[in-house]
Amino acid sequence: MRTIYWDGCIKMIDQTKLPDEFTILEINDVDDLIFAIQRLSIRGAPALEAAGGYGVVLACYERDFDNSERFKEYVKNRAEKIERARPTAVNLSVGVKRVLKKVLESRSIETAREVALREAERIAEEDIIRNKLMGSFGAKLIEDGDGILTICNTGSLATVEWGTALGVIRSANLEGKRVRVFACETRPLNQGSRLTTWELMNDGIDVTLITDSMAGIVMQKGMIDKVIVGADRIVRDGVFNKIGTYALAVLAKEHGIPFFVAAPLTTFDWEKEMKDVVIEERSPEELKFCHIKCKNCRIAPDDVKVYNPAFDATPLKYVTALITEKGVIFPPYDREVPKILRT
Ligand code: MRU
C-alpha cells in the first residue's frame, strides 16, 4: 500500500478518514499540503519526509516565472513554509532541504522542475528500501510467539510503503514468526486504534487494541515480551516519539522488557540534544471531544485548561537498541551511533 506518490500532483491516502473510508487526496498546491500535514491526513516521520520532498516539487510548478533567480526565491520561501508545518519530526525538513538544494543548484527553471521531481521520487524509493532493510535487521530480535507492545502508527501509513516499527513486525511475520501485537490506542488522535489495528488486521497479524493506560497491566501480567516504537527525531540524549512513548519506556524498564526504537538514519539529528527540540502542542479541542471525527461528542467542559503535547522525549538510557537500515545499534550510543552515521 503506497501512502504518498506523485501523479501530476501529490496523491496521498487521507488518514483522517480511516478506518471508515479509504480515500485518495489530491494536493495541488503548497497551502493545501500544509493543511493536509497539520490535520494529519499525512503523518509519520518518514511519510512527512516524502511529503516535504514532493511539496517542493509543487512549489516549482505553482507560478510561472521568466527569471530563474525570482523562481528560486519563490520556491525557497514556499519550502521554508512547508518545513514549519510541524516542528518535531526532523524528516519533514530533511525531505524539503534535499529537494530544495537540487532546485537551487539548477541552471534553468525547466531543469529545476525536472531534478526536483527526480529527487523527490528518489526520497520515496529510498524510504521503501531502507524500511525493508530495517525490517530484516529488526526481525532477528523477534522470537516466534512474542507479545509486542507498540504505540501510534509506524506502518505503511507512516512511511511511503512498509513501515518502521510495524515494518519490523511485518518482516518477522513474513519470516513465519507468529507475533501477538498490542496496539495502544494513542490518544488523542487514535493513530493506534484507527490505523495500526487496521493495517495489521489487513495483513492477518494478530492484534489486540488497548487504551494507553492499559500498558502497565499487560506488562505486569506477562503478556509483553518486547516494546517496539518508531521515532520522530533521535538526538544525542533521547528519542522523540508520539506522546506516551516515554511512559512505555519507563514501564518496560521496571518490568525488564526490552524497549526497541526503529527509525531510518534520516530521523537522527545527532548534533542536537533533547532541550533543543520543539515539541508540537496541538489544539485543546483534540482532548475536549471524543474524536476528531465527532465534533459534537464533548467529553470535557468547554472552558477547561488543556495541555496537549503531541510528542515526548525518552532518554536513551531506556532504549535497549536502535534498529536502523544499516543494522541494530546497541549502547553505548555516543560511541556507536556516530560510527553508523559515518558509513
Ligand atoms: O503525530 P504523528 O501521527 O505524525 O506521530 C507519528 C509518530 O509519533 C510515529 O511514531 C513516528 O513518526 C514514527 S513513524 C514511522
CATH classification of the domain holding 124: 1.20.120.420
Same domain, 315 and 171: yes
**φ and ψ at 53, to 5 degrees?**
-60, -50
In the block, cell 526490552 appears at 258
| Residue 20 is among the residues annotated as catalytic for this protein | no
Same domain, 105 and 226: no
Q: Is 92's C-beta closer than 6 angstroms to any atom of ligand 1? A: no
Look up residue 327 and give its amino acid.
G
* List of residues 6+ apart from 303 with CB closer than 8 A: none
- Show the cell assigned to 226: 518486547
Same domain, 166 and 149: yes
Same domain, 119 and 171: no
| CATH number for the domain harbouring residue 147 | 3.40.50.10470
Name the domain count of the chain. 2
Same domain, 158 and 46: no
- Show the cell assigned to 115: 531534478
Q: What is the CA radius of gyration of the chain?
A: 20
Same domain, 175 and 119: no
Same domain, 208 and 318: yes
- Looking from the CA of residue 311, the nearest atom of ligand 1 is 8
**What does the pLDDT look like over 40-65, one tens digit per residue?**
999 999 999 999 999 999 999 999 99
Summary count for the chain: helices (H), strands (E): 12, 15
* List of residues 6+ apart from 84 with CB closer than 8 A: none
Which of 105, 132, 159 terminates a domain? The answer is 132
Q: What's the rounded Cα separation, in Å, for the pair 140 and 226? A: 13
Catalytic entry in 232, 269, 303, 334: 232
- Show the cell assigned to 167: 515494518
Ligand 1 geometric centre to CA of 153 (Å): 6
Contact 183, 148 (CB under 8 A): no
| Beta strand pairing call for 233-235 and 226-229 | unpaired
Q: What is the pLDDT of residue 290?
A: 82
Q: Is 173's C-beta closer than 6 angstroms to any atom of ligand 1? A: no
Same domain, 333 and 314: yes
Residue 108, burial from CB neighbour count under 10 angstroms (0-12, 13-18, 19+) = exposed
Q: Is 238's C-beta closer than 6 angstroms to any atom of ligand 1? A: no
Which of 106, 132, 158 terminates a domain? The answer is 132
Which of 132, 165, 192 terminates a domain? The answer is 132
In tens digits, the chain (343 residues) has pLDDT values of: 999 999 999 999 999 999 999 999 999 999 999 999 999 999 999 999 999 999 999 999 999 999 999 999 999 999 999 999 999 999 999 999 999 999 999 999 999 999 999 999 999 999 999 999 999 999 999 999 999 999 999 999 999 999 999 999 999 999 999 999 999 999 999 999 999 999 999 999 999 999 999 999 999 999 999 999 999 999 999 999 999 999 999 999 999 999 999 999 999 999 999 999 999 999 999 999 887 667 778 999 999 999 999 999 999 999 999 999 999 999 999 999 999 999 9
* List of residues 6+ apart from 24 with CB closer than 8 A: 11, 12, 13, 14
**What does the pLDDT look like over 112-126, one tens digit per residue?**
999 999 999 999 999
Q: Is 158's C-beta closer than 6 angstroms to any atom of ligand 1? A: yes
A 10 A CB-CB count for 330 gives 11
A 10 A CB-CB count for 47 gives 29
Q: What is the pLDDT of residue 291?
A: 73
Q: What is the pLDDT of residue 64?
A: 96
The whole domain housing 76 covers: 4-132
Same domain, 283 and 337: yes
Q: What is the pLDDT of residue 100?
A: 98
| Beta strand pairing call for 321-324 and 327-329 | antiparallel
Ligand 1 geometric centre to CA of 144 (Å): 27
